[in-house]
Structure 1
Amino acid sequence: MNCIVIDDEPLAREGMGLLVKKIKGLNLLASLNSANVAAKFMDTESVDLVFLDIQMPGTNGIEFAKTISENTLVIFTTAYAEYALDSYEVDAIDYLLKPVTFSRFQKAVDKAFSYHEMLQSKVNSQIESVEKDFIFVKSERRIFKIYFKDIRYIEGLKDYVVIYTQDAKIITAINLKNIYEQLPQNIFIRVSKSYIVNFEHIDSLDNNDILIGNQKIPIGNSFRDYLFDEFISKNILNSK
Protein backbone atom coordinates (compact mmCIF):
# COMPACT_ATOMS: atom_id res chain seq x y z
CA MET A 1 0.00 0.00 0.00
CA ASN A 2 1.53 3.30 -1.11
CA CYS A 3 1.49 6.06 1.51
CA ILE A 4 2.72 9.59 2.10
CA VAL A 5 3.33 11.65 5.24
CA ILE A 6 2.19 15.28 5.36
CA ASP A 7 3.47 17.34 8.28
CA ASP A 8 5.10 20.76 8.54
CA GLU A 9 7.47 19.59 11.30
CA PRO A 10 10.66 17.85 10.04
CA LEU A 11 11.07 15.72 13.19
CA ALA A 12 7.46 14.56 12.98
CA ARG A 13 7.93 13.54 9.35
CA GLU A 14 11.08 11.64 10.26
CA GLY A 15 9.36 9.86 13.14
CA MET A 16 6.41 8.79 11.01
CA GLY A 17 8.79 7.59 8.33
CA LEU A 18 10.53 5.32 10.83
CA LEU A 19 7.19 3.86 11.90
CA VAL A 20 6.16 3.23 8.31
CA LYS A 21 9.39 1.33 7.62
CA LYS A 22 8.51 -1.16 10.38
CA ILE A 23 5.27 -2.21 8.67
CA LYS A 24 5.46 -4.86 5.97
CA GLY A 25 3.31 -3.89 3.01
CA LEU A 26 3.59 -0.12 3.52
CA ASN A 27 5.57 1.77 0.90
CA LEU A 28 6.47 5.38 1.78
CA LEU A 29 6.42 7.41 -1.45
CA ALA A 30 7.20 10.81 0.07
CA SER A 31 7.30 12.97 3.20
CA LEU A 32 5.85 16.39 2.43
CA ASN A 33 5.70 19.61 4.43
CA SER A 34 2.35 21.09 3.36
CA ALA A 35 -1.05 20.29 1.92
CA ASN A 36 -0.33 22.36 -1.19
CA VAL A 37 2.82 20.39 -1.99
CA ALA A 38 0.95 17.16 -1.31
CA ALA A 39 -1.90 18.11 -3.65
CA LYS A 40 0.55 18.56 -6.53
CA PHE A 41 2.27 15.27 -5.69
CA MET A 42 -1.04 13.39 -5.59
CA ASP A 43 -2.01 14.76 -9.00
CA THR A 44 0.66 12.58 -10.59
CA GLU A 45 1.19 9.74 -8.10
CA SER A 46 -1.14 6.97 -6.91
CA VAL A 47 -1.48 7.25 -3.12
CA ASP A 48 -3.50 4.72 -1.10
CA LEU A 49 -2.98 6.14 2.41
CA VAL A 50 -2.14 9.58 3.80
CA PHE A 51 -0.73 10.23 7.28
CA LEU A 52 -1.94 13.78 7.71
CA ASP A 53 -1.15 16.44 10.30
CA ILE A 54 -3.95 18.90 11.08
CA GLN A 55 -2.41 22.18 12.21
CA MET A 56 -0.22 23.35 9.33
CA PRO A 57 0.44 26.72 7.66
CA GLY A 58 -1.85 27.35 4.70
CA THR A 59 -4.48 24.67 4.17
CA ASN A 60 -5.00 22.67 7.37
CA GLY A 61 -5.36 18.91 7.43
CA ILE A 62 -9.14 18.83 7.92
CA GLU A 63 -9.76 21.04 4.90
CA PHE A 64 -7.26 19.13 2.79
CA ALA A 65 -8.87 15.80 3.68
CA LYS A 66 -12.14 17.04 2.16
CA THR A 67 -10.41 17.34 -1.22
CA ILE A 68 -8.79 13.89 -1.24
CA SER A 69 -10.17 11.17 -3.53
CA GLU A 70 -12.61 8.77 -1.89
CA ASN A 71 -10.27 5.93 -2.87
CA THR A 72 -7.46 7.37 -0.72
CA LEU A 73 -7.54 6.63 3.01
CA VAL A 74 -6.59 9.18 5.68
CA ILE A 75 -5.08 8.73 9.14
CA PHE A 76 -4.70 11.99 11.06
CA THR A 77 -1.58 12.55 13.16
CA THR A 78 -1.73 15.51 15.53
CA ALA A 79 -0.81 16.75 18.98
CA TYR A 80 -4.31 18.14 19.55
CA ALA A 81 -7.08 15.86 20.83
CA GLU A 82 -9.82 18.43 20.22
CA TYR A 83 -9.85 17.72 16.48
CA ALA A 84 -10.92 14.09 16.91
CA LEU A 85 -14.62 14.70 16.21
CA ASP A 86 -13.83 16.72 13.08
CA SER A 87 -11.73 13.84 11.76
CA TYR A 88 -14.72 11.50 11.72
CA GLU A 89 -16.72 14.02 9.74
CA VAL A 90 -14.31 13.53 6.82
CA ASP A 91 -14.29 9.71 6.98
CA ALA A 92 -10.81 9.40 8.44
CA ILE A 93 -9.64 5.85 9.14
CA ASP A 94 -8.13 6.79 12.49
CA TYR A 95 -6.81 9.63 14.63
CA LEU A 96 -3.35 9.33 16.17
CA LEU A 97 -2.15 11.61 18.94
CA LYS A 98 1.52 12.56 18.99
CA PRO A 99 3.82 11.18 20.16
CA VAL A 100 2.61 8.10 18.30
CA THR A 101 3.53 4.74 19.80
CA PHE A 102 4.24 1.81 17.50
CA SER A 103 1.43 -0.31 18.95
CA ARG A 104 -1.13 2.45 18.32
CA PHE A 105 0.33 3.04 14.86
CA GLN A 106 0.09 -0.68 14.07
CA LYS A 107 -3.59 -0.75 15.08
CA ALA A 108 -4.42 2.16 12.80
CA VAL A 109 -2.51 0.69 9.87
CA ASP A 110 -4.18 -2.71 10.29
CA LYS A 111 -7.50 -0.95 9.99
CA ALA A 112 -6.30 0.85 6.87
CA PHE A 113 -5.18 -2.44 5.31
CA SER A 114 -8.64 -3.92 5.91
CA TYR A 115 -10.42 -1.01 4.28
CA HIS A 116 -7.93 -0.88 1.42
CA GLU A 117 -8.64 -4.53 0.70
CA MET A 118 -12.36 -3.77 0.61
CA LEU A 119 -11.87 -0.92 -1.84
CA GLN A 120 -9.69 -3.07 -4.08
CA SER A 121 -11.95 -6.12 -4.10
CA LYS A 122 -15.23 -4.23 -4.68
CA VAL A 123 -17.09 -7.19 -3.24
CA ASN A 124 -20.70 -7.66 -4.32
CA SER A 125 -22.32 -7.51 -0.93
CA GLN A 126 -25.34 -5.74 0.42
CA ILE A 127 -28.46 -5.99 2.54
CA GLU A 128 -30.50 -8.96 1.33
CA SER A 129 -33.63 -8.44 3.42
CA VAL A 130 -34.89 -6.92 6.65
CA GLU A 131 -37.21 -8.87 8.94
CA LYS A 132 -38.87 -8.08 12.27
CA ASP A 133 -35.99 -9.08 14.53
CA PHE A 134 -33.08 -9.63 12.19
CA ILE A 135 -31.42 -8.68 8.94
CA PHE A 136 -29.83 -10.73 6.17
CA VAL A 137 -26.51 -9.34 4.98
CA LYS A 138 -24.53 -10.56 1.98
CA SER A 139 -20.78 -10.49 2.52
CA GLU A 140 -17.97 -12.31 0.72
CA ARG A 141 -20.28 -14.73 -1.12
CA ARG A 142 -22.20 -15.71 2.01
CA ILE A 143 -25.45 -14.47 3.49
CA PHE A 144 -25.37 -13.79 7.23
CA LYS A 145 -28.42 -13.67 9.48
CA ILE A 146 -27.82 -11.02 12.14
CA TYR A 147 -30.25 -10.34 14.97
CA PHE A 148 -30.71 -6.65 15.78
CA LYS A 149 -30.14 -7.34 19.47
CA ASP A 150 -26.67 -8.71 18.67
CA ILE A 151 -25.47 -5.66 16.72
CA ARG A 152 -23.39 -3.49 19.04
CA TYR A 153 -22.49 -0.74 16.60
CA ILE A 154 -21.91 -0.13 12.89
CA GLU A 155 -18.98 1.77 11.44
CA GLY A 156 -19.07 3.34 7.98
CA LEU A 157 -16.36 4.32 5.55
CA LYS A 158 -17.33 5.65 2.13
CA ASP A 159 -19.52 2.96 0.50
CA TYR A 160 -18.89 0.19 3.06
CA VAL A 161 -20.00 -0.58 6.58
CA VAL A 162 -18.62 -2.88 9.25
CA ILE A 163 -21.27 -4.45 11.48
CA TYR A 164 -19.85 -5.32 14.91
CA THR A 165 -21.42 -8.00 17.07
CA GLN A 166 -20.02 -9.50 20.26
CA ASP A 167 -18.13 -12.20 18.38
CA ALA A 168 -17.74 -11.02 14.80
CA LYS A 169 -17.46 -8.14 12.36
CA ILE A 170 -19.17 -8.35 9.00
CA ILE A 171 -18.25 -6.08 6.10
CA THR A 172 -20.74 -5.25 3.38
CA ALA A 173 -20.93 -2.79 0.49
CA ILE A 174 -23.59 -0.31 1.51
CA ASN A 175 -23.19 3.20 2.83
CA LEU A 176 -24.08 4.16 6.40
CA LYS A 177 -27.09 6.28 5.42
CA ASN A 178 -28.75 3.44 3.50
CA ILE A 179 -28.30 0.80 6.19
CA TYR A 180 -29.52 3.20 8.86
CA GLU A 181 -32.76 3.73 6.95
CA GLN A 182 -33.39 -0.04 7.06
CA LEU A 183 -32.81 -0.47 10.80
CA PRO A 184 -35.47 -0.05 13.54
CA GLN A 185 -35.17 3.57 14.66
CA ASN A 186 -36.30 2.79 18.21
CA ILE A 187 -33.14 0.71 18.76
CA PHE A 188 -30.48 2.22 16.52
CA ILE A 189 -29.33 5.80 16.37
CA ARG A 190 -26.77 7.48 14.18
CA VAL A 191 -24.34 9.41 16.40
CA SER A 192 -21.86 10.72 13.82
CA LYS A 193 -21.12 10.66 10.12
CA SER A 194 -19.24 7.39 10.66
CA TYR A 195 -21.16 5.50 13.39
CA ILE A 196 -24.53 3.98 14.23
CA VAL A 197 -24.96 2.50 17.71
CA ASN A 198 -27.43 0.09 19.26
CA PHE A 199 -28.95 2.05 22.12
CA GLU A 200 -29.31 -1.10 24.21
CA HIS A 201 -25.55 -1.75 24.17
CA ILE A 202 -24.44 1.69 25.40
CA ASP A 203 -22.52 1.33 28.67
CA SER A 204 -21.92 5.03 29.29
CA LEU A 205 -21.66 8.35 27.47
CA ASP A 206 -20.94 12.04 27.87
CA ASN A 207 -21.19 15.01 25.51
CA ASN A 208 -18.26 13.83 23.42
CA ASP A 209 -18.34 10.06 23.14
CA ILE A 210 -20.14 6.78 23.83
CA LEU A 211 -18.59 3.73 25.44
CA ILE A 212 -19.67 0.27 24.25
CA GLY A 213 -17.46 -2.28 25.92
CA ASN A 214 -13.89 -1.10 25.29
CA GLN A 215 -14.85 0.82 22.15
CA LYS A 216 -15.07 4.61 22.43
CA ILE A 217 -17.34 6.07 19.74
CA PRO A 218 -17.31 9.83 19.05
CA ILE A 219 -20.52 11.87 18.96
CA GLY A 220 -20.70 14.21 15.98
CA ASN A 221 -21.64 17.84 16.59
CA SER A 222 -24.62 17.73 14.23
CA PHE A 223 -25.98 14.53 15.84
CA ARG A 224 -25.58 15.44 19.52
CA ASP A 225 -28.86 17.28 20.09
CA TYR A 226 -30.99 14.54 18.58
CA LEU A 227 -29.18 11.86 20.60
CA PHE A 228 -29.77 13.59 23.93
CA ASP A 229 -33.19 15.13 23.22
CA GLU A 230 -34.86 12.18 21.53
CA PHE A 231 -33.13 9.19 23.14
CA ILE A 232 -31.36 9.97 26.37
CA SER A 233 -33.82 12.46 27.89
CA LYS A 234 -36.72 10.01 27.49
CA ASN A 235 -34.93 7.21 29.27
CA ILE A 236 -32.79 8.88 31.92
CA LEU A 237 -33.67 8.44 35.57
CA ASN A 238 -33.56 11.88 37.15
CA SER A 239 -32.57 12.14 40.77
CA LYS A 240 -33.84 14.91 43.00
Structure 2
Amino acid sequence: MDKYSCLIVDDEPIARDIIQTYCGHLEQLQVAASCGNALEAKQVLQQQKIDILFLDINMPVMDGISFVKTLKNPPQVIFTTAYKEHAHHAFDLAACDYLLKPFSFDRFIIAVDKAIEKISPLPEKTAANPDRITEDFVFIRTEGKIFKIKYADLLYAEAQGNYTKIITGSQTLSPKMPFTAFEEMLPKNMFLRAHRSFIINKSRISHIEGNRVFINGTEIPIGSNYRDSLMTDLGFSK
Protein backbone atom coordinates (compact mmCIF):
# COMPACT_ATOMS: atom_id res chain seq x y z
CA MET A 1 0.00 0.00 0.00
CA ASP A 2 1.29 3.46 -0.91
CA LYS A 3 2.00 5.80 1.98
CA TYR A 4 1.11 9.49 1.82
CA SER A 5 3.02 12.01 3.89
CA CYS A 6 0.82 14.53 5.74
CA LEU A 7 1.46 17.87 7.39
CA ILE A 8 -1.00 19.28 9.94
CA VAL A 9 -1.05 23.05 10.47
CA ASP A 10 -3.37 24.57 13.07
CA ASP A 11 -2.79 27.00 15.94
CA GLU A 12 -5.14 25.01 18.18
CA PRO A 13 -3.48 21.94 19.80
CA ILE A 14 -6.81 20.14 20.20
CA ALA A 15 -7.58 20.57 16.49
CA ARG A 16 -4.14 19.20 15.58
CA ASP A 17 -4.68 16.22 17.89
CA ILE A 18 -8.04 15.40 16.30
CA ILE A 19 -6.59 15.36 12.78
CA GLN A 20 -3.58 13.34 13.95
CA THR A 21 -5.93 10.79 15.55
CA TYR A 22 -7.99 10.59 12.35
CA CYS A 23 -4.81 10.09 10.31
CA GLY A 24 -3.77 7.31 12.68
CA HIS A 25 -6.88 5.34 11.75
CA LEU A 26 -5.92 5.34 8.06
CA GLU A 27 -3.02 3.03 7.27
CA GLN A 28 -2.01 4.87 4.10
CA LEU A 29 -1.45 8.19 5.91
CA GLN A 30 1.79 9.05 7.67
CA VAL A 31 1.98 12.29 9.66
CA ALA A 32 5.36 13.90 8.96
CA ALA A 33 4.83 16.88 11.26
CA SER A 34 2.26 18.90 13.18
CA CYS A 35 2.77 22.68 13.31
CA GLY A 36 1.15 25.57 15.15
CA ASN A 37 1.71 28.21 12.48
CA ALA A 38 2.51 28.75 8.80
CA LEU A 39 6.18 29.66 9.33
CA GLU A 40 6.88 26.33 11.04
CA ALA A 41 5.02 24.57 8.24
CA LYS A 42 7.09 26.34 5.58
CA GLN A 43 10.27 24.95 7.13
CA VAL A 44 8.86 21.43 7.03
CA LEU A 45 7.85 21.80 3.38
CA GLN A 46 11.36 22.96 2.53
CA GLN A 47 12.92 19.95 4.24
CA GLN A 48 10.74 17.06 3.07
CA LYS A 49 8.13 16.01 0.56
CA ILE A 50 4.55 16.41 1.75
CA ASP A 51 1.64 14.88 -0.15
CA ILE A 52 -1.35 16.21 1.83
CA LEU A 53 -1.52 19.45 3.79
CA PHE A 54 -4.26 19.84 6.42
CA LEU A 55 -4.36 23.60 6.85
CA ASP A 56 -6.33 25.84 9.19
CA ILE A 57 -7.28 29.23 7.74
CA ASN A 58 -7.55 31.48 10.81
CA MET A 59 -4.05 31.52 12.31
CA PRO A 60 -1.79 34.21 13.79
CA VAL A 61 1.20 35.67 11.87
CA MET A 62 -0.03 34.32 8.51
CA ASP A 63 -3.45 32.84 7.69
CA GLY A 64 -3.83 29.65 5.68
CA ILE A 65 -5.06 31.36 2.51
CA SER A 66 -2.04 33.69 2.41
CA PHE A 67 0.28 30.79 3.21
CA VAL A 68 -0.86 28.70 0.24
CA LYS A 69 -0.34 31.69 -2.05
CA THR A 70 3.36 31.71 -1.06
CA LEU A 71 3.88 28.09 -2.14
CA LYS A 72 5.17 27.49 -5.67
CA ASN A 73 4.33 23.78 -5.75
CA PRO A 74 1.84 23.16 -2.94
CA PRO A 75 0.80 19.64 -1.96
CA GLN A 76 -2.87 18.66 -2.01
CA VAL A 77 -4.47 21.16 0.36
CA ILE A 78 -7.40 20.30 2.61
CA PHE A 79 -8.51 23.45 4.41
CA THR A 80 -9.89 23.05 7.94
CA THR A 81 -11.76 25.99 9.43
CA ALA A 82 -14.71 27.00 11.57
CA TYR A 83 -15.68 29.76 9.12
CA LYS A 84 -17.56 28.78 5.97
CA GLU A 85 -17.27 32.27 4.45
CA HIS A 86 -13.73 31.41 3.36
CA ALA A 87 -14.97 28.74 0.96
CA HIS A 88 -14.74 30.83 -2.21
CA HIS A 89 -11.08 31.57 -1.46
CA ALA A 90 -10.48 27.83 -1.22
CA PHE A 91 -12.11 27.32 -4.63
CA ASP A 92 -9.93 30.07 -6.13
CA LEU A 93 -6.82 28.29 -4.86
CA ALA A 94 -8.03 24.95 -6.25
CA ALA A 95 -8.01 23.37 -2.81
CA CYS A 96 -8.64 19.64 -2.77
CA ASP A 97 -11.35 19.97 -0.13
CA TYR A 98 -12.72 22.19 2.61
CA LEU A 99 -13.59 20.76 6.02
CA LEU A 100 -15.86 22.84 8.24
CA LYS A 101 -15.13 22.32 11.95
CA PRO A 102 -16.24 20.27 13.72
CA PHE A 103 -16.06 17.58 11.04
CA SER A 104 -16.71 13.86 11.43
CA PHE A 105 -14.29 11.03 10.69
CA ASP A 106 -16.34 9.88 7.69
CA ARG A 107 -16.23 13.41 6.23
CA PHE A 108 -12.46 13.40 6.85
CA ILE A 109 -12.13 10.14 4.90
CA ILE A 110 -13.98 11.66 1.93
CA ALA A 111 -11.52 14.57 1.85
CA VAL A 112 -8.51 12.24 2.08
CA ASP A 113 -9.87 10.05 -0.72
CA LYS A 114 -10.19 13.14 -2.94
CA ALA A 115 -6.59 14.09 -2.23
CA ILE A 116 -5.27 10.59 -2.91
CA GLU A 117 -7.26 10.41 -6.14
CA LYS A 118 -5.56 13.61 -7.32
CA ILE A 119 -2.11 12.36 -6.29
CA SER A 120 -2.52 8.89 -7.79
CA PRO A 121 -5.57 8.92 -10.06
CA LEU A 122 -6.96 5.50 -10.90
CA PRO A 123 -7.76 4.79 -14.55
CA GLU A 124 -11.50 4.91 -15.10
CA LYS A 125 -13.18 2.28 -17.24
CA THR A 126 -16.27 2.64 -19.33
CA ALA A 127 -19.09 0.11 -19.49
CA ALA A 128 -18.84 -0.11 -23.28
CA ASN A 129 -15.10 -0.80 -23.20
CA PRO A 130 -13.80 -1.79 -19.74
CA ASP A 131 -10.18 -1.65 -20.91
CA ARG A 132 -10.39 1.91 -22.21
CA ILE A 133 -8.91 4.59 -19.97
CA THR A 134 -11.10 7.68 -19.75
CA GLU A 135 -9.58 10.69 -21.52
CA ASP A 136 -9.59 14.29 -20.32
CA PHE A 137 -11.84 15.42 -23.16
CA VAL A 138 -15.02 14.54 -25.02
CA PHE A 139 -16.01 14.81 -28.71
CA ILE A 140 -19.29 16.51 -29.61
CA ARG A 141 -20.93 16.50 -33.04
CA THR A 142 -22.94 19.57 -34.06
CA GLU A 143 -23.34 21.91 -37.03
CA GLY A 144 -21.82 19.32 -39.34
CA LYS A 145 -18.57 19.30 -37.36
CA ILE A 146 -17.02 17.32 -34.54
CA PHE A 147 -15.63 19.42 -31.70
CA LYS A 148 -13.11 18.31 -29.09
CA ILE A 149 -13.93 19.75 -25.67
CA LYS A 150 -11.51 19.43 -22.78
CA TYR A 151 -13.25 18.85 -19.46
CA ALA A 152 -11.13 21.58 -17.84
CA ASP A 153 -12.42 24.13 -20.39
CA LEU A 154 -16.10 23.21 -19.98
CA LEU A 155 -17.75 25.77 -17.68
CA TYR A 156 -21.31 24.46 -17.55
CA ALA A 157 -24.09 22.93 -19.63
CA GLU A 158 -27.77 23.83 -19.81
CA ALA A 159 -30.78 21.75 -20.89
CA GLN A 160 -32.75 23.32 -23.75
CA GLY A 161 -35.47 20.93 -24.86
CA ASN A 162 -34.01 18.34 -27.25
CA TYR A 163 -30.71 20.22 -27.26
CA THR A 164 -27.93 20.72 -24.74
CA LYS A 165 -26.23 24.10 -24.57
CA ILE A 166 -22.53 23.61 -23.81
CA ILE A 167 -20.52 26.62 -22.63
CA THR A 168 -16.71 26.57 -22.59
CA GLY A 169 -14.25 29.36 -21.97
CA SER A 170 -14.08 30.13 -25.68
CA GLN A 171 -17.26 28.92 -27.38
CA THR A 172 -20.89 27.86 -27.06
CA LEU A 173 -22.21 24.71 -28.74
CA SER A 174 -25.78 23.42 -28.97
CA PRO A 175 -25.77 19.79 -30.13
CA LYS A 176 -29.05 17.95 -30.56
CA MET A 177 -28.52 15.68 -27.60
CA PRO A 178 -30.57 14.87 -24.49
CA PHE A 179 -29.25 16.60 -21.40
CA THR A 180 -29.00 13.33 -19.46
CA ALA A 181 -27.00 11.73 -22.28
CA PHE A 182 -24.46 14.54 -22.15
CA GLU A 183 -24.28 14.27 -18.36
CA GLU A 184 -23.36 10.58 -18.68
CA MET A 185 -20.36 11.55 -20.82
CA LEU A 186 -18.85 13.68 -18.04
CA PRO A 187 -16.69 12.48 -15.12
CA LYS A 188 -18.76 12.69 -11.96
CA ASN A 189 -15.82 13.79 -9.82
CA MET A 190 -15.56 17.01 -11.85
CA PHE A 191 -19.15 17.89 -12.77
CA LEU A 192 -22.16 18.41 -10.52
CA ARG A 193 -25.87 18.98 -10.98
CA ALA A 194 -26.75 22.37 -9.56
CA HIS A 195 -30.26 22.41 -11.00
CA ARG A 196 -32.39 20.07 -13.10
CA SER A 197 -31.35 22.17 -16.12
CA PHE A 198 -27.72 22.87 -15.23
CA ILE A 199 -24.52 20.85 -14.87
CA ILE A 200 -21.49 22.77 -13.59
CA ASN A 201 -17.74 22.25 -13.52
CA LYS A 202 -16.96 22.58 -9.82
CA SER A 203 -13.35 23.60 -10.47
CA ARG A 204 -14.62 26.69 -12.32
CA ILE A 205 -16.83 27.97 -9.49
CA SER A 206 -15.81 31.47 -8.42
CA HIS A 207 -18.22 31.71 -5.50
CA ILE A 208 -21.65 30.74 -4.18
CA GLU A 209 -24.12 33.27 -2.87
CA GLY A 210 -27.50 32.20 -1.53
CA ASN A 211 -29.12 29.88 -4.07
CA ARG A 212 -26.82 30.96 -6.88
CA VAL A 213 -23.47 29.72 -8.08
CA PHE A 214 -21.21 31.99 -10.15
CA ILE A 215 -19.00 30.67 -12.93
CA ASN A 216 -16.99 32.98 -15.18
CA GLY A 217 -19.33 35.88 -14.35
CA THR A 218 -22.48 33.87 -15.10
CA GLU A 219 -25.13 33.39 -12.42
CA ILE A 220 -26.55 29.84 -12.28
CA PRO A 221 -29.48 28.89 -10.03
CA ILE A 222 -29.15 26.13 -7.46
CA GLY A 223 -32.27 23.96 -7.41
CA SER A 224 -33.76 23.12 -4.03
CA ASN A 225 -33.60 19.38 -4.84
CA TYR A 226 -29.88 19.61 -5.63
CA ARG A 227 -28.60 22.03 -3.00
CA ASP A 228 -27.84 19.50 -0.24
CA SER A 229 -25.90 17.12 -2.48
CA LEU A 230 -24.06 20.02 -4.12
CA MET A 231 -22.95 21.51 -0.82
CA THR A 232 -21.97 18.11 0.57
CA ASP A 233 -19.81 17.43 -2.47
CA LEU A 234 -18.14 20.82 -2.02
CA GLY A 235 -17.30 19.95 1.57
CA PHE A 236 -20.15 21.39 3.61
CA SER A 237 -22.23 19.34 6.00
CA LYS A 238 -25.97 19.82 6.09
Give yes or no for TM over 0.5: yes
- For the residues of structure 1 that align with 2:106 and 2:76, how far apart are their CA atoms? 20
**CA distance 1:77–1:107, shift in 2 (3 Å):** same
**CA distance 1:166–1:24, shift in 2 (3 Å):** farther
Is 2:81 the counterpart of 1:78?
Answer: yes
Contact 1:7–1:33 at 8 Å: present in 2 too? yes
- For the residues of structure 1 that align with 2:118 and 2:213, how far apart are their CA atoms? 29
- For the residues of structure 2 that align with 1:39 and 1:24, how far apart are their CA atoms? 25
Matched residue type, 1:132: T
- For the residues of structure 1 that align with 2:118 and 2:135, how far apart are their CA atoms? 15
Deviations 1:129-180 (A, max 9, x none): 44328866799xxxxxxx98699x99xxxxxxxxx935862689xxxxxxxx
Shift of 1:85: 1.1
Is 2:139 the counterpart of 1:132?
Answer: no
* Corresponding residue number in structure 1 for 2:183: 165
Is 2:62 the counterpart of 1:59?
Answer: yes
Deviations 1:94-147 (A, max 9, x none): 11111121111111111111111139xxx99443644328866799xxxxxxx9
* Corresponding residue number in structure 1 for 2:125: none
- For the residues of structure 1 that align with 2:27 and 2:183, how far apart are their CA atoms? 29
- For the residues of structure 2 that align with 1:165 and 1:28, how far apart are their CA atoms? 38
Q: Which secondary structure does the structure 1 equivalent of 2:46 belong to? A: helix
* Corresponding residue number in structure 1 for 2:24: 21
- For the residues of structure 2 that align with 1:170 and 1:138, how far apart are their CA atoms? 15
- For the residues of structure 1 that align with 2:106 and 2:199, how far apart are their CA atoms? 32
TM-score, L = length of structure 1: 0.59
* Corresponding residue number in structure 2 for 1:194: 204
**CA distance 1:79–1:124, shift in 2 (3 Å):** same
Q: Which runs of 5+ in 1 are unaligned?
A: 140-146, 155-163, 173-186, 197-203, 219-240
- For the residues of structure 1 that align with 2:73 and 2:112, how far apart are their CA atoms? 17
**CA distance 1:168–1:126, shift in 2 (3 Å):** closer
**CA distance 1:71–1:12, shift in 2 (3 Å):** closer
* Corresponding residue number in structure 1 for 2:173: none
Contact 1:73–1:93 at 8 Å: present in 2 too? yes
Contact 1:3–1:51 at 8 Å: present in 2 too? yes
**CA distance 1:101–1:126, shift in 2 (3 Å):** closer
Matched residue type, 1:74: V
Deviations 1:50-95 (A, max 9, x none): 0000000011000111123445110000111111111111110111
TM-score, L = length of structure 2: 0.60
Superposed, 1:194-233 pairs within 5 Å as 194-195=204-205, 205-206=211-212, 210=222, 213=226, 214-216=229-231
**CA distance 1:171–1:131, shift in 2 (3 Å):** farther
Superposed, 1:88-103 pairs within 5 Å as 88-103=91-106
- For the residues of structure 2 that align with 1:59 and 1:76, how far apart are their CA atoms? 14
Q: Which secondary structure does the structure 1 equivalent of 2:7 belong to? A: strand
- For the residues of structure 2 that align with 1:30 and 1:60, how far apart are their CA atoms? 18
- Please give the root-mean-square deviation of Cα atoms over the aligned residues, in Å: 4.2
Q: Which secondary structure does the structure 2 equivalent of 1:5 belong to? A: strand
Q: Which secondary structure does the structure 1 equivalent of 2:142 belong to? A: coil
**CA distance 1:70–1:130, shift in 2 (3 Å):** farther
Shift of 1:15: 0.7
Q: Which runs of 5+ in 2 are unaligned?
A: 123-132, 152-156, 168-181, 191-197, 215-220
- For the residues of structure 1 that align with 2:213 and 2:185, how far apart are their CA atoms? 28
- Count of aligned pairs: 177
